[in-house]
Structure 1
Amino acid sequence: MEHRFLGNSGFKVPALGFGAGTFGGQGPLFSAWGNTDVDGARRIVDICLDAGVNLFDTADVYSNGASEAILGAALKGRRHQAILSTKLSLRSGDGPNDTGSSRHHLIEGVEAALKRLDTEHIDILQLHAFDAMTPVEQVLRTLDDLVRSGKVRYLGVSNFAGWQLMKSLAASERLGLQRYVANQAYYSLIGRDYEHELMPLGADQGVGAIVWSPLGWGRLTGKIRRGQPLPEGSRLHETAGFAPPVDDERLYRVIDAMGEVAEETGKTLPQIALNWLLQRPTVSSVLIGARTEEQLKQNLGALGWQLSAAQMEKLNTASATTPPYPHYPYWNGMFAERAPVLALQGGNP
């Protein structure tokens, strides 16, 4: 297993991690993702650990906490082998303070997560969303206290805008507090918004990406093809309302290009999508999910080989979109000698 630094933390994580959103199966969204129980989770963890995938990511809102509880049970007796990552700050109860990143909710949320995960510390704690109602200084002081207490080791965010993350990093530096080293972000061949602002920010500030939904909410699994109906039983039937929209023609253009690369490499479409991400700047780890052992083993096949430069270019071209203002001048060649984004991308969109 390849290991990479998590931003500038000095801490290494596996290139592939496992997203435990399929554990539990509670609620309209997560029941569509999967309903793996404790016995199934133990088998998944067995396969992951044997392959060197020891980063496991979850959240307090995944199946109303069941994901954390099942993951904790599956890791019982081998917690020391795992890197545990969880998230909080989304609404986790009916009370007025059961949401956000207030000192109250962060402390209560960490204590509850520790119990569900059956552990004494969380390796990577990420805020699931930006809380505009709580001053970033209060949020960071609380997180700093949690790190100093030994209950949390590294900090990250998820679903933050660039200015929100940068404001927080600046406050950490100004106040001498623990800083965010991870950014759990949606990124895929059909979801490249991460590249516009968050990628150059991560490169500049030493924040590593932990990628979620690398298969574009199931669109890049190989089940969707041009001119064919959505297969029966596809989870896209149930999660379409949650997934970010993608223009049909662009989706098919990307899938067509992936199909050509699949013929050249003998790899599956999911393996190609994952391998593409593993070659992108700032990516520390890519989270794979699986409802079955076969899906998990197939995703693990994304390691141990690399797409060629020509194949990367083919996929880059097929998946390219025009970035929004003020980013687009740097992508069409204007001020190229002064554009860190263009250099970061190797001159390609």
Structure 2
Amino acid sequence: MQYRTLGNSGAVVSSYALGTMTFGAEATEEQSHAILDDYLAAGGNFIDTADVYAAGVSEEIIGRWLAARPEARDEVVLASKGRFPMGTAPNDVGTSRRHLTRALDDSLRRLDVEQIDLYQLHAWDPVTPLEESLRFLNDAVSSGKIAYYGFSNFLGWQLTKAVHLARAHGWSEPVTLQPQYSLLVREIESEIVPASLDAGIGLLPWSPLGGGWLSGKYKRDQPPTGVTRLGENPDRGMEAWKGRNADPRTWEIIEEVEHIAGRHGANPSQVALAWLADQPAVSSVILGARTTEQLADNLEAAELRLTEGEMMRLSEVSRPRVGVYPYGPLAQEQRSRKIDGGR
């Protein structure tokens, strides 16, 4: 396992984080604890959850795991999120001081810890003034309830606005952004990645396997069946599956991933993860797992070293379709310019 700093902070995290959205939903508490044990044993130290995961059950499962293994709390960098509804009242949602105060305290209680290492706004809130949210986060850092903060699902301008507001007021600055990012979903490279690099923000990609497509489990024109998320629950995204299945680009990417995997004696998931972990600004890639076997398989990506030619080929075949100004030639020219020593 490799380790990196968490964005522009001094905290050190493993290059692969453990996402826990499955805990309490698709994995039982016993299975979840086994996954956590194996992840820690493999050298992982970064656990990501959220209050809405299984309506708080994910945090409770992690809290009981930490309580049973007090030595693990010193090793683990613990992350959670707040923003989405945890009740039906008007103030049970959003990034207002009122909602976040309760959300953070509830997460601390469920996790049974005094401090959350990384607290993230789960998405932009168009209702609450950003200054209100940032002041709350700064106060939470000052009080010791959180060590750092970050965002999830922010756009480039939203991230940049937050960074400069924090600097203007002398508040603690954000250190991370959690976006969807994979070989199949690279649109964030137009603005979000440059904005993150400019601010020293570390990326924590979620859905790194494109919803399972890059695992090699789906076949062209064959609706998912069996032990896949869509196979077990087709209603959760069959229309999206149809669109991606009909796109030739999807299969060009998958075929190249499978070709490179064969050359390394690896599987497609490991190749897709290894490519993503080496992208600019990425601090840690969030792995979701429902079983210990799935986790062990994905963690082997940490040992996979792709050649420069393979990285370039994967980047070329998966290049995002941005052909309209300013996201065409201008954006490509900006991406192609590199400074020695920069990621």
Query: Does the residue aligned with 1:303 lie in a helix, a strand or coil?
Result: helix
Structure 2, unpaired ranges of 5+: none
For residues 171-197 of structure 1, the C-alpha deviation after alignment (integer angstroms, 9 at most, x for no partner) is 001000011110011100101012111
Residue 119 of structure 2 corresponds to 125
1:180 and 1:243, CA in 2 relative to 1: closer, same or farther beyond 3 A?
Answer: farther
Q: Calculate percent identity across the aligned residue pairs.
A: 41
Structure 1, unpaired ranges of 5+: 26-33
- The correspondence for 1:72, drawn from 46, 58, 63, is 63
By how many angstroms is 1:233 displaced? 4.1
- The correspondence for 2:150, drawn from 150, 156, 161, is 156
One-letter code aligned to 1:54: N
The worse-fitting range, judged by mean Cα deviation, of 75-84 and 262-271 is 75-84
One-letter code aligned to 1:317: E
Is 1:224 equivalent to 2:218 in the alignment?
yes
By how many angstroms is 1:329 displaced? 2.2
By how many angstroms is 1:249 displaced? 1.4
By how many angstroms is 1:239 displaced? 2.8
Distance in 1 (CA, whole Å) between partners of 2:124 and 2:201 is 16
Query: Does the residue aligned with 1:255 lie in a helix, a strand or coil?
Result: helix
Distance in 2 (CA, whole Å) between partners of 1:274 and 1:105 is 35
- 1:133-172 matched pairs, under 5 angstroms: 133-172=127-166
1:328 and 1:318, CA in 2 relative to 1: closer, same or farther beyond 3 A?
Answer: same
- 1:201-240 matched pairs, under 5 angstroms: 201-236=195-230, 237-240=234-237
One-letter code aligned to 2:22: T
One-letter code aligned to 1:51: A
- The correspondence for 1:187, drawn from 173, 181, 185, is 181
1:260 and 1:145, CA in 2 relative to 1: closer, same or farther beyond 3 A?
Answer: same
Is 1:292 equivalent to 2:286 in the alignment?
no
The answer as to whether partners of 1:217 and 1:243 remain within 8 angstroms in 2 is no
The worse-fitting range, judged by mean Cα deviation, of 11-20 and 233-242 is 233-242
Distance in 2 (CA, whole Å) between partners of 1:317 and 1:143 is 39
By how many angstroms is 1:242 displaced? 9.3
1:71 and 1:196, CA in 2 relative to 1: closer, same or farther beyond 3 A?
Answer: same
1:54 and 1:140, CA in 2 relative to 1: closer, same or farther beyond 3 A?
Answer: same
By how many angstroms is 1:226 displaced? 3.0
Is 1:175 equivalent to 2:169 in the alignment?
yes
The answer as to whether partners of 1:182 and 1:207 remain within 8 angstroms in 2 is yes
Query: Does the residue aligned with 2:94 lie in a helix, a strand or coil?
Result: coil
Residue 54 of structure 1 corresponds to 45
Residue 17 of structure 1 corresponds to 17
The worse-fitting range, judged by mean Cα deviation, of 318-327 and 147-156 is 318-327
- The correspondence for 1:107, drawn from 98, 101, 109, is 101
The alignment yields a C-alpha RMSD, in angstroms, of: 1.9
The answer as to whether partners of 1:91 and 1:100 remain within 8 angstroms in 2 is yes
For residues 124-175 of structure 1, the C-alpha deviation after alignment (integer angstroms, 9 at most, x for no partner) is 0000111121111111111110000000001100000111111111100100
Query: Does the residue aligned with 1:322 lie in a helix, a strand or coil?
Result: coil
1:37 and 1:344, CA in 2 relative to 1: closer, same or farther beyond 3 A?
Answer: farther
By how many angstroms is 1:238 displaced? 4.0
Identify the structure with the greater helix proportion: 2
1:238 and 1:269, CA in 2 relative to 1: closer, same or farther beyond 3 A?
Answer: farther
State the TM-score, normalizing by the size of structure 2. 0.92
